[in-house]
Amino acid sequence: MAGSLETASRPELVARRVGQPTVEALTPARYKVQFTASVELHDKLERLASLLRPEVGGGDIAGAIDFAVTLALQRLEARRFGKTAEPRKTLATTDLPKTTRAIPAAVRRAVHERDGGRCRFVDEHGRRCSERHRLEFHHRHPFGLGGNHSPGNISLLCREHNRLLAEHDYGKAAMRRHVSDTRKTAGAPRASRG
């Protein structure tokens, strides 16, 4: 009851809690995360916590969320950056295809590790970009202009710096056309496989 009285006396908290999730540092190692969930998500969380009772102990929802997020990150990072505990190929045994834009997993893994999972762009003052999200692989010598998939030719860049360097390599007009074409293709209905 005290929580509701405190919230009622502070209307700014009501607006923040209703519309937006909050993440609040409690200590350097602990955070309070608060958000509004649908009935479906609530049911999924309870089912997950119940199934994970032996792994996380006591059916703790925070433990279940941590377990699920860790598993999702492992899968997504394996697909995106080639990160896996037991890689099928090493960098030395990987072919570097010249006909496809697909960067081999061993190269993605090596570049991600070398660049520390962060944008590698350095400005004119020697400051490195600190972005760790929305990372993309950038060919220093563009693939479209004959560049290869070797780790020495590829680096991680955030979306903004990748676009900036692509404009430098191909020109602003070409990049505007590319973005426009990509948006048109993304909005077009997909052909059925039959």
Does 31 fall in a domain?
Answer: yes
Domain that holds residue 181: 105-185
Confidence of residue 63 (pLDDT cuts 50, 70, 90): confident
Nearest alpha-carbon partner for 103 in 59, 127, 138? 138
Domain contains 178: yes
Residue 122 phi/psi, 5-degree rounding, is: -120, 130
* SS3 category, 149: coil
Q: State the DSSP code for 34.
A: E
pLDDT tens track for 76-103: 988 888 887 777 767 766 777 677 788 8
pLDDT given for residue 86 in this prediction: 77
Q: Is residue 172 part of a domain?
A: yes
User: Does the predicted model carry a pTM greater than 0.85?
Assistant: no
Would 93 be classed as within a structural domain?
Answer: no
User: In one letter, which amino acid is 80?
Assistant: R
In a domain, 114, yes or no: yes
Residues 6+ apart with CB under 8 A from 98: 148
Residue 6: pLDDT over 50: no
Residue 94: predicted pLDDT:
74
Residue 24 maps to a domain: yes
Helix (H) or strand (E) holding 51: helix 39-51
Collect all residues with Cβ–Cβ distance below 8 Å to 118 and sequence separation of at least 6.
128, 129, 130, 131, 132, 135, 156
- Is residue 141 in some structural domain? yes
Strands 22-27 and 30-34, sheet pairing:
antiparallel
Q: What would the DSSP string read from start to end of 131-142?
A: --SSEEEEESS-
Is the CB of residue 136 less than 8 Å from the CB of residue 155?
A: no
Contact 130, 99 (CB under 8 A): no
The DSSP H or E segment spanning 157 is strand 154-158
Q: Residue 104 in contact with residue 144, Cβ under 8 Å? A: no
The tally of domains found in the chain comes to 2
| pLDDT score of 138 more than 50 | yes
Q: Is the residue at 144 inside a domain?
A: yes
